[in-house]
């Protein structure tokens, strides 16, 4: 009790660095702007890619989240931007550059006010209100694509996917990949597991050699002698999925055996052989024509199956085995005893096919149909890697659009419209808040402006035209025309984005800006600085800033 009564004396460790007040806020804002500047040029269909070289190799990417992750930012405040890019990536899958740009622009607009001594909380309050109004407005403007026929819906979804892909390296083939993505997403139906869509990368060939398998495909696994004698194609085979080794194992690893007579040794060896033959027999008796196992299938088993016209593959990855399981309706067995018919899967066609330099095991026409695999082809490794990331974005977008099927016009159209709406609203507010809401509205224009800058257009000119058009009342859908450098009806040109991308981006960017504006002190503990990576740990999203004064260093996230 008495200890609680004592006044607390706060002492910082030697070398602890604290910076406070306005200077600190301004420096945080500058750091965030610097981060946004690195991804700025990647926005939009004419955006540039970034080549990032680190100890893990070289990555070429246009994806905001990927770039932010690889940049390895250590500035504590700027890390918040990395976080929102990541969360945008996992929540909606697209709009990662957008969210970073918006957040930094919100802060940049706030900078003059902070310099003039405006209390951040007045700013934050106005920003929050403006953010909510913006989101409300996006929801109002969103157009539903519900109630269309399947064919119509398909082509609408393909357009959403094409918009996402148009900013990527594979943008040149966007129609080709967009329809592939839509087919893949529709194939898995309403299942939420993203890993039901597999993407397999096979270097070589051209992009157009990529194809979609309505089922599962995976690279031929390591196999033993005898494999070539196995049949490589089946119609309606039964598929047995295992999680056991089918290998001749010396049982000394499992048991200790004491012999009194050397002659008994032979019986031990025989027993070992009997165990494996027994297992193999049971596999064959199950009636399965295809045996897959997550663990090794040895040479003895391979030959045994070959003699009985059965196909086998060992060391199938967990993920692939799961996908075969959900596609074929089979269940993975951990024992070969009592394999009943119900646990066997099936598919219409199984085939082993040559794709480029690789051989693929392909299961198509699966009964539950809930899987799809995209086999990606292309020149360089980095290229295929980036293509995979781009397809991931497109897949996410189509899934979003299928789920909450509302879209908004892209190309900066929606941003301009919201901006206009907020400006109008600002006029009705009395007091300082008017300026802040206005600044928020102005910040939204960063999207069309950046799209122009990246395409080499005169941004001021295009923005003026856009403002005029939107003010005229009937131009709500007008955005940047990326082909001519003028303005065009984005909606009519099918530059669409799912509404949820914008909603999430505005929400996350506003939150991040408010969070960083609410921090006015950073405490750097020399110890945590030396522990790599921890130095940057910031107080998290609590919003309350940092309370690291106790000399205990900072909270870890």
Chain residues binding ligand ADP by CB under 6 A are: 42-45, 47, 62, 64, 94-98, 163, 166-167, 410-411, 447, 451, 480, 482, 495, 497
CB atoms within 10 A of CB 10: 8
Q: Which is nearer to Mg ion, 124 or 446 (CB)?
A: 446
45 binds, among Mg ion, ligand ADP, none (CB under 5 to 8 A by kind): ligand ADP
Q: Which is nearer to ligand ADP, 45 or 215 (CB)?
A: 45
> Of residues 318-377, which lie at the interface with Mg ion (CB under 5 A)?
none
The answer to whether 216 and 366 have CB atoms below 8 angstroms apart is yes
> Which among 518, 439, 555 is positioned nearest to 25, based on CA atoms?
518
User: Of residues 393, 415, 453, 481, which has the active-site annotation?
Assistant: 393
Structure tokens at 123: 């700013």
> Of residues 151-180, which lie at the interface with Mg ion (CB under 5 A)?
164
The full DSSP string for 99-115 is HHHHHHHHHHHHHHHHH
The sign of the CA dihedral 552, 554, 556, 557 is positive
CB of 507 to ligand ADP, least distance (A): 14
Quote the CA–CA distance of 552 and 549 in Å, as a whole number.
7
Strand partners, 408: 497
User: Of residues 42, 66, 96, 510, which has the active-site annotation?
Assistant: 96
Residue with tokens 């009592």: 338
The answer to whether 14 and 506 have CB atoms below 8 angstroms apart is no
66 binds, among Mg ion, ligand ADP, none (CB under 5 to 8 A by kind): none
CB of 493 to ligand ADP, least distance (A): 7
Minimal CB distance residue for ligand ADP: 410
The answer to whether 358 and 384 have CB atoms below 8 angstroms apart is no
411 binds, among Mg ion, ligand ADP, none (CB under 5 to 8 A by kind): ligand ADP
Tell me, yes or no, if 317 is annotated catalytic. no
Tell me, yes or no, if 42 is annotated catalytic. no
CB of 450 to Mg ion, least distance (A): 13
93 binds, among ligand ADP, Mg ion, none (CB under 5 to 8 A by kind): none
Tell me, yes or no, if 393 is annotated catalytic. yes
Helices (H), 119-264: 120-141, 150-165, 174-188
Q: Which is nearer to ligand ADP, 288 or 413 (CB)?
A: 413
134 binds, among Mg ion, ligand ADP, none (CB under 5 to 8 A by kind): none
Quote the CA–CA distance of 359 and 375 in Å, as a whole number.
12
Tell me, yes or no, if 522 is annotated catalytic. no
CB of 80 to ligand ADP, least distance (A): 17
Quote the CA–CA distance of 146 and 550 in Å, as a whole number.
56
CB of 393 to Mg ion, least distance (A): 6
CB of 400 to ligand ADP, least distance (A): 12
314 binds, among Mg ion, ligand ADP, none (CB under 5 to 8 A by kind): none
482 binds, among Mg ion, ligand ADP, none (CB under 5 to 8 A by kind): ligand ADP
CB of 134 to ligand ADP, least distance (A): 15
Mode of pairing for the β-strands spanning 521-524 and 17-20: antiparallel
User: Of residues 97, 163, 164, 346, which has the active-site annotation?
Assistant: 97
| DSSP-based three-state secondary structure for 374 | strand
> Which among 221, 260, 497 is positioned nearest to 361, based on CA atoms?
221
Q: Which is nearer to ligand ADP, 502 or 524 (CB)?
A: 502
User: Of residues 42, 49, 59, 63, which has the active-site annotation?
Assistant: 63
Q: Which is nearer to ligand ADP, 62 or 522 (CB)?
A: 62
Q: Which is nearer to ligand ADP, 28 or 88 (CB)?
A: 88
> Which among 236, 365, 223 is positioned nearest to 373, based on CA atoms?
365
Quote the CA–CA distance of 273 and 296 in Å, as a whole number.
17
> By CB under 5 A, is residue 94 in contact with Mg ion?
yes
Counting Cβ atoms within 10 Å, is residue 550 exposed (0-12), middle (13-18) or buried (19+)?
Answer: exposed
Site residues (CB under 5 A) for Mg ion?
94, 164
Catalytic residues: 63, 96-97, 393
């Amino acid at each position: 009790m008495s200890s609680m009564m004592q006044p607390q004396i706060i002492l910082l460790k030697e070398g602890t660095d604290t910076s406070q007040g306005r200077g600190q806020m301004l420096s945080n804002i500058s750091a965030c702007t610097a981060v946004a500047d690195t991804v700025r040029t990647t926005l939009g269909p004419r955006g540039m890619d970034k080549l990032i070289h680190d100890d893990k190799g070289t990555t070429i990417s246009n994806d905001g989240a990927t770039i932010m992750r690889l940049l390895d930012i250590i500035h504590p405040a700027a890390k918040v931007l990395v976080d929102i890019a990541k969360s945008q990536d996992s929540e909606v899958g697209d709009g990662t550059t957008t969210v970073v740009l918006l957040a930094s622009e919100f802060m940049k607009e706030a900078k003059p006010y902070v310099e003039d001594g405006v209390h951040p909380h007045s700013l934050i309050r106005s920003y929050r209100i403006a953010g909510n109004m913006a989101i409300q407005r996006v929801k109002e403007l969103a157009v539903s694509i519900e109630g269309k026929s399947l064919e119509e819906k398909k082509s609408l979804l393909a357009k959403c996917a094409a918009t996402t892909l148009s900013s990527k390296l594979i943008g040149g083939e966007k129609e080709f990949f967009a329809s592939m993505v839509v087919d893949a997403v529709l194939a898995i139906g309403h299942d939420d597991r993203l890993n039901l869509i597999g993407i397999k990368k096979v270097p070589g060939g051209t992009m157009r050699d990529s194809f979609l398998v309505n089922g599962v495909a995976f690279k031929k696994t390591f196999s033993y002698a005898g494999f070539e004698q196995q049949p490589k194609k089946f119609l309606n085979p039964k598929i047995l999925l295992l999680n056991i080794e089918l290998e001749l194992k010396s049982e000394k690893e499992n048991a200790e055996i004491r012999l009194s007579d050397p002659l008994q040794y032979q019986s031990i060896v025989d027993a070992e052989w009997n165990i494996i033959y027994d297992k193999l027999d049971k596999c064959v008796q199950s009636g399965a024509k295809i045996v897959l196992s997550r663990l090794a299938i040895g040479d003895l088993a391979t030959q045994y199956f070959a003699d009985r016209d059965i196909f086998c593959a060992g060391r199938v990855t967990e993920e692939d085995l799961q996908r075969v399981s959900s596609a074929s309706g089979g269940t993975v067995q951990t024992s070969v005893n009592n394999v009943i018919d119900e646990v066997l899967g099936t598919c219409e066609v199984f085939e082993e096919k040559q794709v480029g330099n690789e051989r693929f095991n392909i299961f198509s026409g699966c009964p539950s149909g809930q899987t799809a695999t995209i086999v990606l082809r292309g020149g360089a490794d980095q290229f295929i890697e980036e293509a995979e990331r781009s397809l991931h974005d497109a897949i996410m977008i189509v899934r979003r659009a299928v789920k909450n099927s509302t879209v908004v016009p892209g190309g900066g159209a929606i941003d301009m419209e919201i901006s206009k709406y907020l400006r109008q609203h600002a006029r009705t507010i009395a007091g300082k808040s008017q300026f802040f809401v206005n600044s928020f509205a102005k910040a939204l224009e960063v999207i069309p402006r950046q799209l122009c800058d990246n395409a080499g257009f005169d941004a001021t000119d295009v923005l003026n035209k856009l403002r005029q058009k939107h003010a005229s009342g009937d131009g709500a859908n007008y955005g940047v025309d990326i082909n001519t450098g003028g303005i065009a009806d984005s909606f009519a040109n099918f530059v669409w984005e799912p509404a949820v991308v914008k909603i999430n981006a505005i929400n996350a960017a506003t939150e991040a800006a408010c969070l960083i504006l609410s921090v006015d002190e950073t405490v750097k503990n020399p110890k945590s600085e030396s522990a790599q990576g921890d130095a940057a740990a910031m107080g998290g999203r609590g919003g309350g800033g940092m309370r690291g004064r106790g000399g205990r260093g900072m909270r870890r996230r």
